[in-house]
Amino acid sequence: MNLFAKICGVTAVALSLFSAAASADTVSDIRERGTLRIPAILNEVPYFNKDPRTGEWTGFVIDMASDIAKTLDVELEVVESSWSNAILDVQSGKVDMAFAVTATPVRALSVSFSDPTYYNSFVLISADETLEGKSWNELNDPQYTFAVDLGSAQDLMAQQYLPKANILRFKTRDEAIVAVTTGKAQGLINTMLNGLVISKKAANVGSVKVPTPVLSTPSVIAVNYGSDETFKSFVSAWAEYNRRIGNNQTWILKSLEPFGISLTDMPPGFGFGG
């Protein structure tokens, strides 16, 4: 090897080491700040709930994030946001991570995803008992009209599995629920966790039905692409560990208790662990 090649090699190594040293040390940054920042959404039980009197946040996402903050020896900082803005908050660096995210290829262009924290399933909430036990293929028929909230994971699922059905899309979940309770739609397409709470809070919307096959989707944590690999590995390890040993399920069930929902209320074929 000639002298020039050696110099180039040494320079390349030096630049590599400098780049690694110059890259963000995400854990150190969080510890220096003293807070772990997450976005939270108002009135999104069982994920989030803010007490209007005290300003205190509760919900299973808050419990999960608090555990990560405790592990990092920092405080949890909650940033009020919305489902549509949560990914942007992560991408812009306004927050450090976002929970309860459905991983999609489009979102993967903006943020990195952790291993699953738990698994959710898409369900139908309806008072029409003739829909009980039907498959997604059977529901994919123009005779059926279903409601979804626009741009949600359940909207994407309906586009894929129910292209022939009549799908009414609304800006908010509450509007979609009203469409069902007023008879404009025969059922609401949503996730298991939301469906269980909705059926308890608005009894006239109907009960949770699980069409076959069970469509299970992983819920993940979104982190900024610029976060270093140590932080990304830590977040994934936290998610995998707590899912495997059941902590995440425990936090979720705790958040459902105020609605009188327990593990026995989960339909057959559903499991948080996937």
Q: pLDDT confidence of 269, banded at 50, 70, 90?
A: low
Query: Cβ contacts of residue 154 below 8 Å, gap of 6+?
Result: 122, 148, 189, 190, 191
pLDDT at 173: 87
Per-residue pLDDT of 176-232, as tens digits, reads 999 999 999 999 999 999 999 999 988 899 999 999 998 988 999 999 999 999 999
- Type of residue at 149: D
CA dihedral (126, 130, 135, 140) positive or negative = negative
Tell me what pLDDT residue 19 has: 37
Instruction: Tell me the mean pLDDT in the region 234-241.
Output: 98
| Residue boundaries of the structural domains of the chain | 24-118+217-265, 121-216
Residue 88: how many other CB atoms lie within 10 Å? 16
Indicate the CATH number of 24-118+217-265 among 3.40.190.10, 3.30.70.890, 3.40.50.300, 3.20.20.70: 3.40.190.10
Please indicate whether the domains covering 24-118+217-265 and 121-216 agree at the CATH topology level. yes
Q: What fold is seen in the domain 121-216?
A: D-Maltodextrin-Binding Protein; domain 2 (3.40.190)
Angle at 28 between CA 27 and CA 31, to 5 degrees: 85
Tell me the CB-side half-sphere exposure of residue 154, using CA atoms within 13 A.
Answer: 27
**Mean pLDDT across the chain:** 89
In this predicted structure, the answer to whether residue 4 has a pLDDT above a threshold of 70 is no
For residue 122, report the phi and psi dihedrals to the nearest 5 degrees: -85, 135
pLDDT number for residue 123: 95
Which single residue is written with the structure tokens 């510890």?
Answer: 31
The per-residue pLDDT for range 135-187, each reduced to its tens digit, is 999 999 999 999 998 878 889 899 999 999 999 999 888 899 999 999 999 99
Burial 175-184 (b: 16+ CB within 10 A, else e): ebbbbbbeee
This prediction's pTM: 0.82
- CA gap 222, 225 in Å, rounded: 9
